[in-house]
Amino acid sequence: MTRRNQPVYEEMRSLAPYFLTIGGIYMAIMAVLFFALKFDYTLLIGGVYGIIIAVLNFFLLGKSAQSALKKNAKSAQTYMNVMYCIRYLGLFALLTIGALAPFINLIAAVIPLFFPKIAITIRALRKKEE
């Protein structure tokens, strides 16, 4: 089975433009805050760090969901629960590193974690209008 025929990858591919647009707008705002308002460089680094974490989390969610589709209901539920715990432990570890690093603005790093939900909501609203 190729990736083109796998429903989760198709869904992720359809969300990518929304996610990239939101990320681009966010980084443009970060750049304006940095250059025009003379904010600290940690704001830009935190924004990039957060977007990388959000993309990684979104990718791992899709990968685990696609793998769960190949299992029976009980093992798929167990697998998704385990992967959920692993993903959130990874998020916690990466955000802890971000909080301890003096060159990363933690708030700027946390905001992109909401981008996948925003992208899903925007796409659902646009599909509903069609």
Return the domain boundaries, the chain: 3-121
What is the rounded distance in angstroms from the CA atom of residue 82 to the CA atom of residue 45? 31
pLDDT at 3: 53
pLDDT at 50: 94
Contact 67, 79 (CB under 8 A): yes
What is the rounded distance in angstroms from the CA atom of residue 35 to the CA atom of residue 18? 26
Mean pLDDT to the nearest integer, 111-130: 88
Helices (H), 36-72: 41-68
What is the rounded distance in angstroms from the CA atom of residue 117 to the CA atom of residue 127? 15
pTM for this entry = 0.83
Cα-atom radius of gyration of the chain, to the nearest Å? 17
What is the rounded distance in angstroms from the CA atom of residue 119 to the CA atom of residue 20? 9
Q: How would residue 12 be classed by pLDDT, with cut points 50, 70 and 90?
A: confident
